Amino acid sequence: MGLVAAVVLISAAAVLSAGCGNSRPPVKLADGSGGSPLPAALERLGKTSVLTSERTVQLRTLDAQGRACVRLSAGRALAPDQMLVERIDHLGASVTFRLRGEPFAYGCTSSGRSHRWCGHFVGEIRQGHLVDPRLDIACRTAAGAPIGSAWIEPVAQAKWIVIRGRGVIQIYPTAASLPVRVTTLSVDIPTATAVFRVEQYDLQGTRVSEATLRPAVAG
């Protein structure tokens, strides 16, 4: 009985050890946080998923770095009550906004824990839709890999935009009827393109859109 018990204990330890060896650390956001718990409707996406942070704010509440983004992209002072969307995802941070009565979206991106904007862009809107997703590949990871960022327009009923990347699934809440700035490491420098595997889900977790996009840096 003692021998049998010992064998059982050893086998259990081996199973636990194997399980620990196969476990992966939780996916973190660029600011080092683990993000909020996944929405119940999207828990099935698994442990390699991370809910990116989103905050809709007025210009008057932005810090100096946020206001620098406004100056870089819009090129002028804006009203204190101008609304903007700040996001932090797995690869960096972004700000997106649209001026009242103007057919343009504006934004900036930073990479990793850096607060310095490495990309800023303006996108034209015609008949309610972006003419171009405004791919940017200027930002880099700490290891020097290029980060692709682009705007994705939510389809009707979309509550979350999901980007499937290299071992990481990023979940972006939609906000303020603005395009959502998303990121990927699937960048091809020679062709100045990036690949985004995009899924969109409604409030109940039903997938309402799916596409693989390969935008190019606008000339």
CA nearest to 137, candidates 88, 95, 187? 187
Rounded to whole angstroms, how far apart are CA atoms 78 and 59?
8
pLDDT of residue 13: 41
Phi, psi of 16 (to 5 degrees): -60, -40
pLDDT of residue 4: 38
Which residue ranges of the chain lie beneath pLDDT 50? 1-21
State if pTM tops 0.85. yes
pLDDT digits (tens, 9 = 90+) for 96-134: 999 988 999 999 999 987 779 999 999 999 999 999 999
pLDDT of residue 130: 96
pLDDT of residue 154: 97
pLDDT of residue 14: 39
Alpha carbon 208 to chain centroid, angstroms = 19
CA nearest to 123, candidates 86, 150, 163, 147? 150
pLDDT of residue 11: 40
